[in-house]
Amino acid sequence: MKDPTRTPRLRVFPDARALVRAAAAHVLCHGRRAVRERGVFNLALAGGTTPMALYQTLGAGRAAGADLWRRTHLFWGDERAVPPEHPASNYGVAWKVGLQRLAVPPENVHRVLGESEDARRAAILYESDLRSHFAGATWPSFDLVLLGLGADGHTASLFPGSDALAERERWTEVAEGGEPLLARVTLTLPALNAADGVLFLVSGKSKTEALGRLLGLPGDDRLPAQRVRPRGERLVFADRAAMGQPPES
């Protein structure tokens, strides 16, 4: 097991397009290894612009991983309290832009029921689904968790100052924050930190300050994203804009 207090390993790409291509290759490589070793790939997805471009890329290249996708279970790191057809739905947009073209069996798609009238009930139902899939486990053992990074340092729906950051027993929690301001269901820090691998996807100059802090001194946990320290690999894929670097000439 690797040291969970280490600084994340960083790869920098010239632009968002190159970042997405590399992320797609990483997902496929990680998935094939998981299937080879355990027969299943448990993948937790993120919302946001860059992850959606990744799902579009994976959907367009579905033939390269057809056998992999049949053995994949999809989960979501967080979801807004909206129905799947709403433009703010992480599941709905991801499905529309690319995931529907993959060969993932319907029963392997574990979405949050954002259309529920009660976000707490949606969180309970999602946790029940997770516990059923990872039967007998203390925490869910995702093979790979994809995460974004907000300009305020939030990740999933774990926002600065949120009570959800203190949760140590539940796998899921209800939180509020971000734009639009809606109730959300999110995986908790212990659930994220039980993963075999985490990949942050960070693009754009608005993320420069938060990214600098994420890559700062080990042990600094003032931002929620800094507190994601999985038992396995912690990677950051960033483009030059997010690093505060000028475009390549």
pLDDT tops 70 at residue 244: yes
pLDDT in tens, 24-57: 999 999 999 999 999 999 999 999 999 999 999 9
Q: What residues make up the domain containing 73?
A: 9-239
CA–CA gap between residue 141 and residue 146 (Å, rounded): 14
Q: What is the dihedral of CA 113, 118, 123, 127, to 10 degrees?
A: -80
Task: Determine contact, residues 197/173, Cβ cutoff 8 Å.
Answer: no
Is there a domain that residue 245 lies in? Answer: no
The C-alpha atoms of residue 213 and residue 225 are separated, in whole angstroms, by 9
Q: What is the pTM of this model?
A: 0.95
pLDDT for 63: 67
Main-chain phi, psi angles of 175, to 5 degrees: -140, 165
**pLDDT by residue (tens digit) across 101-148?**
999 999 999 999 999 989 999 999 999 999 999 999 999 999 999 999
**Residue 31 main-chain phi, psi, to 5 deg:** -65, -45
Q: The tokens of 84 are what?
A: 């799947």
Tens digit of pLDDT for each residue in 7-21? 789 999 999 999 999
* Residue partners of 220: CB distance under 8 A and separation at least 6: 213, 226
Inside any domain, residue 200: yes
- Residue 154: inside a domain, yes or no? yes
CA distance 157 to 187: 8
Residue 3 lies in a domain: no
Mean pLDDT check: name the lowest of 147-156, 210-219, 233-242. Answer: 210-219
Q: Count how many domains the chain has.
A: 1
Instruction: Confirm whether 244 is domain-assigned.
Output: no
Is it the case that residue 168 has pLDDT exceeding 60? Answer: yes
For residue 77, the domain's CATH number is: 3.40.50.1360
pLDDT in the model for residue 64: 72
Give domain status of residue 228, yes or no. Answer: yes
Q: Which residue is associated with the tokens 């894929």?
A: 237
**Tally of CA atoms within 13 A in the half-sphere of 50 that contains its CB:** 27
Report if residue 248 sits inside a domain.
no
> What pLDDT score was predicted for residue 183?
93
Q: What is the pLDDT of residue 1?
A: 45
Within a domain: 233:
yes
